[in-house]
Amino acid sequence: MSEQKSSAKDLDLEKKNKRKKRTKNAKRYYDDKDQKDEKDDGDASKQKTETFTVDGADVSRRRLAKWKKRRMAKIDGGDPSRSKVAKQQKTAFEHGEEAGYVEFESDEEHDSRLSQTDIVDAVDVTSATKHFDLSLKDFGPYYIDYNRSGRHLVLGGKRGHMAAFDWQTKKLHCEFNALETVNSVKWLHQETLLAAAQRSGVYVYDNQGVEIHVLQQLDAVLRMEFLPYHMLLVTANEKGFLGYTDVSMGTRAASICTGLGRLDVMTHNPQNAVVLLGHAPGTVTMWTPTTKGPVMKMLCHKAPVSALAVDSTGNYVATSGVDRRLKVFDLRTCQPLSTTRLTMGASSLDFSQRGLLAAAMATRVQVYRDVCRQTSVVSPYLSHMCGGSVQQLQFCPFEDVLGVGHQRGFTSLIVPGSGEADIDAMEVNPYATKKQRQNAEVKLLLDKLQPEMIGLTNWVKDLSSKSRSRPPVSKQPVKKLGKKEKEQEVREKKRASVKTEDKQEYDPTDVLARFRKR
């Protein structure tokens, strides 16, 4: 009896300890933030000197910054010495994460182009392993795609070789040969489904390599894009067809005959899900599933457009043409911001989460910093020569890594400062367990947006604003122009030849259209 009693007591103690441990852990998690703050206070002075690429601020951001400022004042006791940049880094510090950076010591080194070997030497072991090279010479130039969370990578060789793996742990999910020409690969909403644009159709595979669906109607697809919030797979055809397929229901949301020939340059705007296509006359057109024609047409180059990329904030588009120019346009006003001369037209462009632009020219990859904010010519931040001519570039979402698919395989390059340090797990969680992933999928399906909601303007935001009696004011400031200024504008317009066929997309729920300013 006494033994039992003592064992019971032990059990109680165990339970108590477990509880203590649990609360301790919980406390540690929360206290960690504060501790790290204290630690990093010393480093604050160092960070002041670094340049911080902050994405274009929108109103909510500004308000948030104000709130943060007020909160910081309370916590710090109103420490004015902390710069705005250091204050904004507070959220990254909460997890001990700060965005990568390169700090040049003297002015002359500012122009030097960093090489991967320099970076690998300077950085810790775990980060150094992020630079690796896969030599796959037999199966042609490789198309790549990173998962939304940045954990998983799929490679598709032109001659049919397909491989999907978790590139951080180097765990291979599947490797097989599709026995057909593969033109593009894309992860769908989860890391369990991937789509390959093969000659005979779009094939959807499991991450184990099992063929799940064959969409034979989508044949001769050259490019694919995935719109995660609408669950739409956008395919651009050799024959000029733009197809939207709803991946959750398996239905065709739209099939648009563009009539503009071979569509081999495509990208999408992550902020409003509008698809951009680049064409041979040097024009860039924008498409939504509900309109039959392009929603917007821009003349960007005097020669065929070879690559397109849209900023993560949705405000800027970088275009490159065969005329060896790299141009950055503001998407809201469709005005050119800057023009850079390149040695040759970039075959692939990609923006990182923090605004770095990567451009691929034959075998050379160049990364530019602050392209959107500068009107003058920028010199590259990083440069790298790959083993073969580059087919596709893509920045990895939450890491300082640039993936390059080329003729001779795949290379992963370290680009300090390209990845977003803060993760919001409610949006996308790279460290999700299976259960979390499944729950997230359910939530994504419940919140799935309809293709009719895609448009250039955010009508829900406009109409849900408090002042409903007043029509929503457009974001662009309306200036009253004098005669000279008007003439100048006309001249500029002729030069850029921007045709804004700003058709008001048909919105079936848009009963309040009369409230909107025309």
Restricting to residues 366-405, which ones interact with another protein according to CB under 8 A? 398-400
Q: Of 235-243, 295-303, 359-367, 460-468, which part binds another protein (CB under 8 A)?
A: 460-468
Q: Considering the complex, what minimum distance in angstroms separates the CB of residue 332 from another protein?
A: 16
Among 53, 85, 96, 330, binds another protein (CB under 8 A): 96
3-state secondary structure of 60: helix
- Other CB atoms within a 10 A radius of the CB of residue 51 amount to 12
Residue among 98 and 441 whose Cβ is closer to another protein: 98
- The answer to whether the CB of 387 falls within 8 A of the CB of 368 is no
Mind spelling out the 3-state secondary structure of 357-385? EEEEECCEEEEECCCCCCCCCCCCCEEEE
3-32: which residues touch another protein (CB under 8 A)?
A: 18, 21-22, 25-26, 29, 32
The C-alpha atoms of residue 497 and residue 501 are separated, in whole angstroms, by 12
Among 122, 210, 481, 490, binds another protein (CB under 8 A): 122
- The DSSP symbol for 491 reads H
Residue among 219 and 441 whose Cβ is closer to another protein: 441
Q: H/E element holding 403?
A: strand 401-406
Q: Are strands 275-278 and 305-310 parallel, antiparallel or unpaired?
A: unpaired
β partners of residue 319: 308, 327
Mask of contacts with another protein, 207-236, x by CB under 8 A? Answer: ----------------------x-------
Please give the structure tokens belonging to residue 335: 């005005």
| 509 counts as binding another protein under rule CB under 8 A | yes
Query: Under rule CB under 8 A, how many of the chain's residues touch another protein?
Result: 77
Q: Of 94-102, 245-253, 297-305, 491-499, which part binds another protein (CB under 8 A)?
A: 94-102
Mask of contacts with another protein, 301-320, x by CB under 8 A? Answer: -----------xxx------
Among 51, 333, 464, 474, binds another protein (CB under 8 A): 464
C-alpha dist (Å) from residue 180 to 68, 196, 262, 462: 54, 10, 20, 47
Residue among 145 and 311 whose Cβ is closer to another protein: 311
- The answer to whether the CB of 321 falls within 8 A of the CB of 302 is yes
| 457 counts as binding another protein under rule CB under 8 A | no
Residue among 264 and 420 whose Cβ is closer to another protein: 420
| 434 counts as binding another protein under rule CB under 8 A | no
The C-alpha atoms of residue 347 and residue 356 are separated, in whole angstroms, by 17
Among 37, 76, 97, 323, binds another protein (CB under 8 A): 97
Residue among 184 and 312 whose Cβ is closer to another protein: 312
Residue among 212 and 425 whose Cβ is closer to another protein: 425
How distant is the alpha carbon of residue 351 from its chain centre? 7
Q: H/E element holding 498?
A: strand 498-499
Of the chain, the end-to-end C-alpha distance in Å amounts to 87
340-369: which residues touch another protein (CB under 8 A)?
A: none
Residue among 324 and 437 whose Cβ is closer to another protein: 437
168-187: which residues touch another protein (CB under 8 A)?
A: none
Among 252, 437, 448, 503, binds another protein (CB under 8 A): 448
| 273 counts as binding another protein under rule CB under 8 A | yes
| 111 counts as binding another protein under rule CB under 8 A | no
Residue among 161 and 230 whose Cβ is closer to another protein: 230
Residue among 101 and 132 whose Cβ is closer to another protein: 101
The C-alpha atoms of residue 268 and residue 274 are separated, in whole angstroms, by 6
Strands of 180-324, DSSP E: 182-187, 193-198, 201-206, 211-215, 221-227, 232-237, 241-246, 251-257, 265-268, 275-278, 283-287, 296-299, 305-310, 316-321
